[in-house]
Amino acid sequence: MAVKMRLQRHGSKKRPFYFIVIADARSPRDGKFIQKLGSYNPLTVPATIQIDRQKALDWLQKGAQPTDTVRRILSFKGVLFLKHLLRGVSLGLFDEASAMEKFTKWSTEHEASVNRRQGAHRKARIEKRNVPVVKKVAEKVEEAPAAEAAPEVSEEPKTEE
């Protein structure tokens, strides 16, 4: 039986919300599933992702195949990196303590970069909101004459015949 890690769509029209689930590959997208791993909301900025790392790692080690989008989500959350490190432990390349140390180091750096990007996004959004209306109108007025290249019309009165 082929097992997939995939998204199950919920939410109303044009307002998607997804559950990350483990399901048989033959079952329909929103149909029967084996286990729910988390959720994904693409409408928030940045997208909200909640996932149980341990369950996802267990299913990956059992051979569950993630879809492309779920693979990106797992990579973003560090599940695939953790799987990679644990594979190195099983091959004897390094011990489990150093693998966990590498993962925690990566995790803190990743969280810092995500927080930095969120802060930059918030700052840009606030600056965009705080631009005075007068300045916006003045910019539009300056752009308008250059954009309009209408032919000149003579102002002769029309005569009816």
Question: Mean pLDDT per segment of 10 residues, for the chain of length 161 residues?
Answer: 90 94 89 91 88 94 93 94 92 90 94 90 86 68 60 60 55
Please name the fold of domain 3-130. Answer: S16 Ribosomal Protein; Chain: A; (3.30.1320)
What confidence score (pLDDT) does residue 79 get? 93
Return the SS3 of 5: strand
- Provide the pLDDT for residue 101: 94
How would you classify the pairing of strands 3-10 and 17-24?
Answer: antiparallel
Q: What is the pLDDT of residue 128?
A: 84
- Alpha-carbon gap, residue 99 to 103, rounded angstroms: 6
Instruction: Please tell me the predicted confidence (pLDDT) of residue 142.
Output: 72
Ordered by start, the domain boundaries in the chain are 3-130
Q: What is the pLDDT of residue 98?
A: 92
- Count other C-beta atoms under 10 Å from residue 74's C-beta: 24
* Amino acid at position 108, single letter: T
Q: Residue type at 17?
A: F
Q: DSSP 3-state assignment of 22?
A: strand
Instruction: Choose among 66, 32, 73, 29: nearest CA to 50.
Output: 73
Q: And the tokens for 25?
A: 């590959």
3-state secondary structure at position 8 = strand
Angle at 102 between CA 82 and CA 49, to 5 degrees: 45
